[in-house]
Structures are given as C-alpha cells and as structure tokens.
Chains A and B, each alone.
Chain A
C-alpha cells in the first residue's frame, strides 16, 4: 500500500543517522582496542591483540570484572525479590487503586538517577541520616562507617534504581496471563500454590527474563554509583574504563575493556532471547 518513494524516505534518514552515530562509533571503539599508545601519549595504529592479552595477564582486571558481575548478580536477585511480588500484588490484588499504584512505580522509574543516588549518599554517610537515626535511638553510639563507601552501598543504591525496571516487564507479562487459565487450574483441583507454580510462574517467565536482563546489564555497566557511594572497595569495571579514558590516557586498553563489556551485554541479550523462545508457550 505504501509507495517505494515513501518507504525509501522513511528508511534512509534514520538508517544513515544510526550508521554514523552508532555503527561507526562502535567500529571505531573496536579499532582502538587493537591499537596502542606510546609513553608520549600518542595513539599508534599498529594492530595487535596485546590489549586483550594484557587484560588476562594483569589479575586486577578479571578481579574487578568478577566483582562487577557479583554486584550485578546481587542487584538482579534483589530487584527480582522486590519487583516480582510487587508486580504480582498489582496484577492480582490491587483492583481499584491499580492505576494509582502503577503510577507510583513509574515515577521512581523515570525520575533522576543522580537525585536518587545522591539521596542514598546523604542517608548512608558517617554523619548521614541513618547514623543520626541509630544514635538518636541509642542503638549505636559511634557512627557506623561501613554503610557508605562499600560494595553494600553500591548494591543498595542500584537495587533502588533498578527495581522499577524489573517490575515493569514482569507486570506486563503478569497482565497478559489469561485469567481463564487460572480459573481452569482451580476448577481442575489445583491449590493456589500449584496454580502459581504451574500456570502463572511459567507464563511470567519472559517478563522475569527481561527484567533480570535490564537490571544485570545496566548494573554491570554502571560507573556513577561506585563513584558516588562505592569507595575503593566498590570500584567496578566501568570505573577502570573511565580512568583509562581519562587520567591514565590509555584509550586502546579502555577500548578493549569496553568491547569485552559490549560482547558480554550482547551475549546476555542473545541468551535471554534463546531461553525465552525455548520456554515460549504461545
């Protein structure tokens, strides 16, 4: 129904734009990762795998990468533990106030990352709100130092930021569970628990996967929360990349780590897609 000219003119401009501003930059980052830098801070275009081999030889990089993955895993697990029951509650129990309760979740979803990160910094600090509160109640007498500038603070802050992200796809998938299937399972004599595990949980799996992917991938690439609340023990892989592109001025090695992150992210997206297709019941 649409003419060739119409189809061409809607396709070409965005295609050109994403080629110049997404595809070419990714390719450039890819090139950088094979180049090297001289002590006088000049980028030399001599292609080698040295940046990659060095990533495995220096134990700092794998250590920080695994720490980042552990933090991302913890945030994902916590976001699911908080987000799934909330989505379940909204989908099956909140009848009248559903719309309001839903809006109360999307507000923190889209509201400023920096503002929320900053809020945790003021709460967890050694003269922060939490320490003030604990001393006010005479639970502690000295400020507790480990709240802020620890992996714990990073996990807490990022869980707060990504819980609404995991909630959203889970809620969408729960809303799409045909209600008559649940009724049928009740009529056939299953207990509520059985209905949940045999009907609702499998059908909401795509939402859980999407939510988990979101939380894991975005946490893995985060560098702001570690700078804000992490301290030395909470440094993540992206912080190393920031340093390499900044003060250390080793773009090639920074590029190599970024490329590894990109491969991990795309790999995770590919895996979740495969899993989802395998367990798709429709």
Chain B
C-alpha cells in the first residue's frame, strides 16, 4: 500500500506503544495483585497470598448496602437517560425548531463539563426547591448528566437506520406511532441496549456529581471514598478488583453491540461526538 513509515514495521513506535499500554495497565495490575496480598496495601514484593480480603468483603454489610444503593440509582438513571435521550436524539435528527443548536449544546454539555459544575448547579436547584438530598437527588443528577451519553449513542444508531423502511411503513398505511413502535424502535434496539449498558456502568462509577447530591445513604463509590479517608486496607483493593471486572465485562459487551452492525473504523464514539465539528455536523 503506502511506503515508508506509514506502514510496515516501525520498531521504535511499537516499543513506544507497548510502554503506553504498560502505563495504562500498570496501576490496574498492581491494584489487583495487592488485593491478594496478606501483608497490606504497600511494600514490595507482595507476599503471603491470601483470599482473606475477599472474605472480609463478603461479610461487610455496609458495603453491600452501598452496592444495592448504587444498583438502584444506576437502573433508575438508565431509565431516565434513555427515556429522554431517545426523544432528544429523534428531535435532533428529525425536528426543526427555534433554538435547536442551543438545545443540542445544552443536552451534550454535561459530557464535557467537569462534574463539579453539574453537581453544584443541581445542588442549588434542590436546596432552592427544598428537596432533601437523598438517593433520589443523586439519581436525578446521574439521569440528567447521562442524557448526553444516551443521546449521542442513539443518534449514532439513527444515522445507520434505513429510512426507506419507515417510508414503506407509512406508505402501507401505518400511522406515525405504529411506524415508531413497529419499525423505528426495533431498529434502535441494539443502540438502546448498548447505551443502557454504558450508562449503567458510568452511573455505578460516578463520584463527582454524587459527591454534592448525596444524602444519608451512600453509593458504592462514595462509601469507598469515605473509607479512603479513614485509612486504606487491601479490602478496598478487593472491592475495586470486583468493580473493575464488572466494568470490563459491561464495556466489552457494549463494544461488541456497537460494532456488530458496523466495522470498527466507522463507529463514532460518544467521545468523538464531542468534536466541535460533530456537534456542528449533527444539524445537517
């Protein structure tokens, strides 16, 4: 194909890429290794391999309460963000209305905005409306912030949709609602599931927005956070390892779902949707 270093072997570049991967994975490997370390979180080499930390974890009821809280918040956040991300994506794709460009920017802003601003602004709203901080406020925060992810994911799905199927359905006498339920929605199923998985994982790991909106009951990341301030034990490595395993599994399923219908080069990542051009381009 092409000559020179744009193709073929490049030993230096390969070595550099290996180093970058090492940098990305070194902390993760260390974290997992020390979750089996009998003699604490630090020191080298790790010794006294044990499963004790995982056993401690099993009987730690405060931690499992937090896991349950996080799961409830994440499921509700998925429902909110999909329930609003679907119409938002349809609106961006199909409707023209004054202020559409501003609407798109507003919906997508939490993707790039530091969590502290989303969290604090919602905090002022809830305090102003005299709503007590609880898991409900955390859920509303996650749901609102993650509409951005749902919208970009479903919007990408809509771009792949074959419009002629919808036209055929309308031509054959089905009305818009029937067409939506029988043609549009089934075609978006994979995008919706993929978006739901990603949102579930992101909500489960979310900490910056939750930090400001949490009431008495902790989510898992905030429970871990409050323990970190009291001192660290390999028990935190153990729960972190389990969180990582869960995240990796859902991310890989999400990725498979996303690439099933398109080769990898053509997949527009949610992150890539933040390219200013992509924000602009969606209008046309």
Contacts and interface: CB of A to CB of B under 8 A. Distances in A.
A128 B269 contact: no
Contact of A251 (B115, B124, B224, B268): B124
A127 B232 CA distance: 12
A69 B270 CA distance: 26
A172 B6 contact: no
Contacts of B228: 118, 121, 228
A18 to B, nearest CB: 5
A258 B117 contact: yes
Given A118-B224, A228-B228, A265-B112, A21 B122 contact: yes
A15 B147 CA distance: 12
A152 B28 CA distance: 19
Given A111-B248, A168-B271, A196-B6, A120 B125 contact: no
B276 A255 contact: no
Contacts of A217: 112-114
B161 interface: no
Interface in A119-162: 119-123, 125, 127-129, 131-133, 135-136, 160
A169 to B, nearest CB: 5
Contacts of B173: none
A11 to B, nearest CB: 4
A39 interface: no
Given A172-B272, A210-B275, 6 more contacts: A3-B176, A99-B264, A103-B252, A105-B24, A113-B205, A195-B6
Interface in A197-235: 200, 206-207, 209-210, 213-214, 217-218, 220-224, 228
Nearest to B31: A119
A34 interface: no
Interface in B243-269: 243-244, 247-248, 251-252, 255, 259, 264-265, 268-269
Most buried by A among B17, B97, B120, B123: B120
Given A13-B84, A93-B14, A98-B264, A21 B225 contact: no
A26 interface: yes
B191 interface: no
Contact of A119 (B27, B96, B123, B167): B27
Contact of B240 (A119, A179, A228): A119
B31 A223 contact: no
Most buried by B among A21, A127, A163, A224: A21
B34 interface: yes
Given A10-B90, A165-B271, A32 B124 contact: yes
Contacts, number: 314
Interface of A: 1-3, 5-11, 13-15, 17-18, 20-26, 28-29, 32, 82-83, 85-86, 88-90, 92-94, 98-99, 102-116, 118-123, 125, 127-129, 131-133, 135-136, 160, 163-165, 168-169, 172-173, 175, 179, 182-183, 186, 191-192, 195-196, 200, 206-207, 209-210, 213-214, 217-218, 220-224, 228, 238, 241-242, 245, 251, 254-255, 258, 261-262, 265, 269, 272-273, 276-277, 280
Given A29-B121, A115-B244, A18 B103 contact: yes
Interface string B104-130: 001101101111110011111100100
B88 interface: yes
Given A136-B44, A169-B271, A116 B28 contact: yes
A247 B241 CA distance: 33
B135 to A, nearest CB: 16
Contacts of A13: 84, 87
B237 interface: yes
A255 B207 CA distance: 20
A262 B116 CA distance: 10
Nearest to B128: A28
Nearest to A168: B271
A110 B251 contact: yes
Contacts of B114: 217-218, 220-222, 238, 261, 265
A265 B110 CA distance: 12
B23 to A, nearest CB: 7
A106 B251 contact: yes
A113 B28 CA distance: 12
Which 4 pairs across A and B sit closest by C-beta, in order of nearness?
A221-B114, A192-B4, A132-B44, A25-B121
A35 to B, nearest CB: 11
B265 A175 contact: yes
Contact of B247 (A3, A111, A165): A111
Nearest to B151: A14
Interface string B1-26: 11111111110011011001101110
B27 A123 contact: yes
B31 A122 contact: yes
B280 interface: yes
A3 to B, nearest CB: 5
A96 to B, nearest CB: 13
A87 to B, nearest CB: 10
Nearest to A9: B87
